Structure 1
Amino acid sequence: MRKKIKVRSMQLRAVDGADGENLHVEGYALVFNQKTLLWESPYSGTKYYEVIAPGAVDANTDMSDVILRYNHSDSALILARTSNGTLRLNVDEKGLKIDADIAPTTTGRDIYQLIKRGDISKMSFAYTSDKDSGENDPVAKTQTRTIDHIDFIMDVSPVDFPAYDGTSIEARGHDAMIAELQEKEKSEELRKKLIIETFL
Structure 2
Amino acid sequence: MDEKREIRNTSFQVQVTGENEEKRTVEGYALLFDIPSDGLSFTEVIKRGALDGVLEKSDVFALLNHDQRRGVLARSKYGKGSLSLSVDDKGLKYRFDAPKTALGDELLENIRRGEIGESSFCFDVEKDTWEKRSDGSWKRTIEKFGNIYDTSPVYNGAYSKTSVYMRGKEAAEEELRHREQEIPESYYQNIEKSLNI
* 8 Å contact kept, 1:80–1:86: yes
1:14 aligned partner: 16
In structure 2, relative to structure 1, the CA distance for the partners of 1:61 and 1:99 (3 Å cut) is closer
Q: Work out whether 1:4 is the aligned partner of 2:4.
A: yes
Q: CA deviation at 1:39?
A: 3.4
State the distance in 1 between where 2:94 and 2:25 align. 11
State the distance in 2 between where 1:183 and 1:131 align. 16
2:95 aligned partner: 99
* 8 Å contact kept, 1:135–1:145: yes
Q: CA deviation at 1:37?
A: 3.2
Q: Provide the identity percentage.
A: 33
Amino acid aligned to 2:34: N
Structure 1 unmatched runs, 5+: 41-47, 164-171, 185-200
Q: CA deviation at 1:103?
A: 1.1
SS class of match (1:116)? helix
Task: Pick the aligned partner of 1:110 from 106, 110, 120.
Answer: 106
Q: TM-score, normalised by structure 2?
A: 0.74
Bigger Rg over Cα: 2
Q: Deviations over 1:91-133 (max 9, x none)?
A: 0010001111111101211111111222101011001110111
In structure 2, relative to structure 1, the CA distance for the partners of 1:39 and 1:30 (3 Å cut) is closer
State the distance in 2 between where 1:120 and 1:173 align. 17
Q: Deviations over 1:136-162 (max 9, x none)?
A: 02x412100000001201111111222
**CA RMSD, Structure 1 to Structure 2 (Å):** 2.6
Task: Pick the aligned partner of 1:82 from 76, 89, 92.
Answer: 76
Structure 2 unmatched runs, 5+: 172-197
Amino acid aligned to 1:79: L
State the distance in 2 between where 1:183 and 1:143 align. 11
Amino acid aligned to 1:175: T
* 8 Å contact kept, 2:35–2:45: yes
* 8 Å contact kept, 2:85–2:95: yes
Q: CA deviation at 1:33?
A: 0.7
Whose RCO is larger (CA < 8 A, sep 6+)?
1
* 8 Å contact kept, 1:33–1:54: yes
In structure 2, relative to structure 1, the CA distance for the partners of 1:111 and 1:146 (3 Å cut) is same
Amino acid aligned to 2:75: R
